[in-house]
Amino acid sequence: MSAPYNHKAIEQKWRSNWAKNPVNVNDGKKPKYYCLDMFPYPSGNGLHVGHWRGYVISDVWSRYKMLKGHYVIHPMGWDAFGLPAENYAIKMGTHPAKSTAENVEKFKEQLSDIAAIYDWDMEVNTTDPAFYKWTQWIFVKMFKEGLAYEKEFPINWCPSCKTGLANEEVVNGCCERCGAEVTKKNLRQWMLKITKYAERLLNDLDKLDWPEKVKKMQTDWIGKSYGAEVDFPVEGRDEKITVYTTRPDTLYGATFMVLAPEHPLAASLAVPETKEAVDKYIYDASMKSNVDRLQDKEKTGVFTGSYAINPLNQAKTPIWLSDYVLADYGTGAIMCVPAHDDRDFAFAKKFDIPIIQVIAKDGKEIENMTEAYTEASGIMIHSGEWDGMESAVLKKEAPHMIEKRGLGKATVNYKLRDWVFSRQRYWGEPIPIIHCPKCGNVPVPEEELPLMLPDVTSYEPTGTGESPLAAIEEWVNCRCPVCGADAKRETNTMPQWAGSSWYFLRYVDNHNDKELVSKEKADQYLPVDMYIGGVEHAVLHLLYSRFYTKFLYDIGAVDFDEPFHKLFNQGMITGKNGIKMSKSKGNVVSPDDLVRDYGCDSLRMYELFVGPPELDAEWDDRGIDGVSRFLKRFWKLALDSREADVKATTEMVKLRHRLIYDITQRLESFSLNTVISGFMEYNNKLMEIAKKAGGIDAETIETFLILMAPFAPHMAEELWEIYGHNTSVFENRWPEADESAMKDDEIEVPVQINGKTRAVIRIPADAGKEEALAAGKEAVADKLDGSIVKEIYVPKKIINIVQKPGK
């Protein structure tokens, strides 16, 4: 009788063995592989089974790479600054520094249950002054390069979080964090000129082995478009209005013009008769929240009373104001071609503005137009000298023609906006800038960094647009590092993204107080080969990190310009009916009980077995029994086989190599759920053989152990030891399948008649067509009627005999 599998004792034993003798060591000869997890914000709620999934995937991948002969960099750290940490501290009535430290401890404890090969010597914490020194250093560098600048303008403001937000943090007009409706607030802000990198951020996506979905999201977010800026002189005035259009080919069809209510000329275009209505419209628009503005699909607008002159045909074009034109995109003014744009069409219909078709659809002019014809395909009509041209061609050429004639210029536009970088909150990196009345904005000298976040007792947000730091006079008042005059510190802090935009660079050199990361370490270990995490950061963290890396590349701090070579997004683990796990829903499943009852190895495997790693999966506790049973059966098979000590049969050897082949293939294609089912399948087959043979040969069992080691490391180590080895199972190399050993002499081939399987025959694997068909026909002889039309043999796959139907 073999000893039952005692997960508790075995897992404890190996946990302490690994602590003494780590399995992932850098001997300086092995090639590196950097496998990174998105580091967590250490929340007070602890880990749930959803967190586990990503960490298990990355650990399995890391251990696999280890067995493939790599030194694996697999670090972990804490994204501990930011709103959630601060809000949590406020709720608990404690200081965020204290609650964060406690939460980190709690998280680390729970994380240890996963038994990942994290190298804790590399640990980083964004709130550690030795870390944020470099977060601030990057900001100073950006300031010196002119990429960080101050600006006052109406920004997105979350009234609940009491802070300004970046565009990326506003989702459907609501705060990404708390869901509150975002309003506008006029505030002095620090901005990062991410738009300067728009083109590179867009182009370099091609270099990345990332999910298409994420690339697409970033492409859309950057939102590049080609078009022209065209100048429309205002009638009777010495001013002109510049519009941006992607369809300069339709210029002859412009029957009106619309300005955003926030356009600088908007109010001044009113004439005495329209002044009241125009002012009211501008005022009303300024009062509308983002959400209202988004939801009101019904067009509103007001005629200013002024006209602009179409520079091409000198047509008098009425100027309107409407909030469907956005002030901060393009020039904040558009020419309107109702015949060829849906929105302009709706507006023209509502306000009874003429519609002029300038592109013939299917060679014809449309009578009684009911919707805009928006495709750039067809011959130009009513377009003066452009008549007869192909619209698609003209669309490309028109910007240059307009530029040549001095009527405007060809331009490129992006949806991407500069990054609103300051937050009016306490728990973040202080922005290292000093406001000097004489010298203006002066960065804190690099040798004085880090600029410490002052320790205070009261840090709650003021809600006024001022940071809580503004109230700390002894901190705010300082001297200008340039001229020595009395000066004041910047009191805003950085957003949570500041630290997470570069943390992955710091792991490999986390104690360096001279550089962000040394050249040697960077060359040796960076960049990241595989990055694993949820898809929710597609246009936030992942875009910001790329921007930061490119900047650091430009100033020579690193010599690569993309941080993450390969990206994998794991799906979310949800509760029943796909509902997101959350404390308030009460559907959070903690891994703690499962680890206690089933063991770490079982839970690791079940996390993968729940479904394809890239898809969301509903958690069902009961499923873990299947994995647990499998592990117990394998355990028993291994122990019984050890005792029986049987010689390998060709059948066992064949299965051994097929196992290697199948598992490796599935692993390489990241089909981790089928890797687990593969283990189960082969275990079932081996048990069947062992029933007859008394056991399985040692080499096959040991091969199984090595393959399973990344998934169930504790059991693999224990059995490896039981099999008489005094080294770790991870000192092995990943086995390779010998395809010649996998082959069958005889194969099973289904025989179909008219596509329906009527028999299955066994034939020699190397049987020729004649031989196979003869055997096939013999097997279904009683069902053949002599009217054979066609005979098909796909080698090793199938036989299909086609006969006339009806008999």
Partner RNA sequence: GCAGGAGUGGCGGAAUUGGCAGACGCGCAGGCUUCAGGUGCCUGUGGUCGCAAGAUCGUGUGGGUUCAAGUCCCAUCUCCUGCACCA
User: Does 626 contact RNA by CB under 7 A?
Assistant: yes
Euclidean distance between CA atoms 498 and 691, whole angstroms:
61
* Residue showing tokens 């708390």: 178
Least distance from C-beta 197 to RNA, angstroms? 17
* Residue showing tokens 């109406």: 154
Kindly state the number of chain residues that form the binding site for RNA, as judged by CB under 7 A.
Answer: 77
Q: Which of 199, 209, 220, 365 binds RNA (CB under 7 A)?
A: 220
Euclidean distance between CA atoms 514 and 342, whole angstroms:
58
If 0-12 CB within 10 Å is exposed, 13-18 middle and 19+ buried, where does residue 272 land? exposed
Q: Which of 62, 125, 163, 245 binds RNA (CB under 7 A)?
A: 245
The smaller minimum CB distance to RNA, of residues 3 and 19, is found at 3
Task: List the interface residues with RNA, window 555-584 (CB under 7 A).
Answer: none
Least distance from C-beta 223 to RNA, angstroms? 5
Q: Which of 70, 247, 489, 550 binds RNA (CB under 7 A)?
A: 247
Task: List the interface residues with RNA, window 225-244 (CB under 7 A).
Answer: 225, 227, 244
Cα angle 177, 583, 162 (rounded to 5 degrees) comes to 25
- Name beta bridge partners: 233: 240
Q: Which of 21, 94, 172, 477 binds RNA (CB under 7 A)?
A: 172
| Three-state DSSP state, 393 | helix
Inter-residue contact 48 to 651 (CB < 8 Å): no
User: Does 374 contact RNA by CB under 7 A?
Assistant: no
Task: List the interface residues with RNA, window 581-620 (CB under 7 A).
Answer: 609-612, 615, 617-618, 620
The smaller minimum CB distance to RNA, of residues 204 and 262, is found at 262
Task: List the interface residues with RNA, window 672-731 (CB under 7 A).
Answer: 673-674, 676-677, 680-681, 684, 687
- State the Rg of the chain over Cα: 34
Task: List the interface residues with RNA, window 258-277 (CB under 7 A).
Answer: 260
Q: Name the amino acid, one letter, at 25.
A: V
Q: Which of 294, 579, 765, 774 binds RNA (CB under 7 A)?
A: 294
Q: Which of 98, 207, 213, 364 binds RNA (CB under 7 A)?
A: 213
The smaller minimum CB distance to RNA, of residues 211 and 233, is found at 211
Inter-residue contact 534 to 54 (CB < 8 Å): yes
* Phi and psi at residue 84, to the nearest 5°: -60, -40
User: Does 45 contact RNA by CB under 7 A?
Assistant: no
How far CA 414 is from CA of 45, 196, 330, 494, in Å, comes to: 40, 11, 8, 25
Q: Name the amino acid, one letter, at 184.
A: K
DSSP H or E run through 659: helix 650-668
How far CA 753 is from CA of 39, 103, 326, 793, 803, in Å, comes to: 58, 67, 66, 12, 7
User: Does 8 contact RNA by CB under 7 A?
Assistant: no
Q: Which of 284, 365, 625, 785 binds RNA (CB under 7 A)?
A: 625
Q: Name the amino acid, one letter, at 101.
A: A
User: Does 177 contact RNA by CB under 7 A?
Assistant: no
The smaller minimum CB distance to RNA, of residues 22 and 750, is found at 750
Buried b (16+ CB within 10 A) or exposed e, 129-143: eebbbbbbbbbbbbb
User: Does 169 contact RNA by CB under 7 A?
Assistant: no
Stretch in the footprint of RNA (CB under 7 A) among 123-131, 443-451, 726-734, 755-763: 755-763
Least distance from C-beta 206 to RNA, angstroms? 17
Least distance from C-beta 334 to RNA, angstroms? 4
Q: Which of 556, 586, 755, 806 binds RNA (CB under 7 A)?
A: 755
Inter-residue contact 35 to 72 (CB < 8 Å): yes
Strands (E), 301-453: 302-309, 316-321, 333-336, 408-413, 419-420, 433-436, 440-443
| Three-state DSSP state, 652 | helix
Stretch in the footprint of RNA (CB under 7 A) among 31-39, 460-468, 668-676, 729-737: 668-676
Stretch in the footprint of RNA (CB under 7 A) among 21-29, 391-399, 424-432, 753-761: 753-761
The smaller minimum CB distance to RNA, of residues 143 and 630, is found at 630
Task: List the interface residues with RNA, window 524-553 (CB under 7 A).
Answer: 535, 539
The smaller minimum CB distance to RNA, of residues 476 and 802, is found at 802
* Residue showing tokens 């470099």: 134
**Residue 735 CA to chain centroid, in angstroms?**
33
User: Does 184 contact RNA by CB under 7 A?
Assistant: no
Task: List the interface residues with RNA, window 763-802 (CB under 7 A).
Answer: 790, 792, 794, 797-798, 800, 802
Structure tokens at 402: 């307009």
Stretch in the footprint of RNA (CB under 7 A) among 26-34, 293-301, 525-533, 712-720: 293-301
Strands 333-336 and 433-436, bridge-based pairing:
unpaired
Stretch in the footprint of RNA (CB under 7 A) among 400-408, 438-446, 472-480, 666-674: 666-674
